[in-house]
Amino acid sequence: MESQKCVLYDRDCIGCLECETCDLDPNKICDNCGKCLDIKDDAVIKIDKIIINDK
């Protein structure tokens, strides 16, 4: 049986479940809410100019 690699440290998984802990609330199991990632609902790109090549 091959052991799993730890996703946080350079070692084999020891079952500590640190990778399952919420970054914002250490008493909570991560539920993939994404609040720690600070993802915005909308993305805005400012366009300075448009270059058209007529070749």
Taking 70 as the pLDDT cut, the residues of the chain under it are 1, 39-41, 55
Give exposure, 7-25, as e/b (b: 16+ Cβ within 10 Å). Answer: eeeeeeeeeeeeeeeeeee
The pLDDT, as a whole number, for residue 1 is 66
Over its C-alpha atoms, the chain yields an Rg (Å, rounded) of: 21
**Alpha-carbon span 17 to 44, nearest angstrom:** 37
Residue listed under structure tokens 């090549």: 53
The pLDDT, as a whole number, for residue 20 is 93
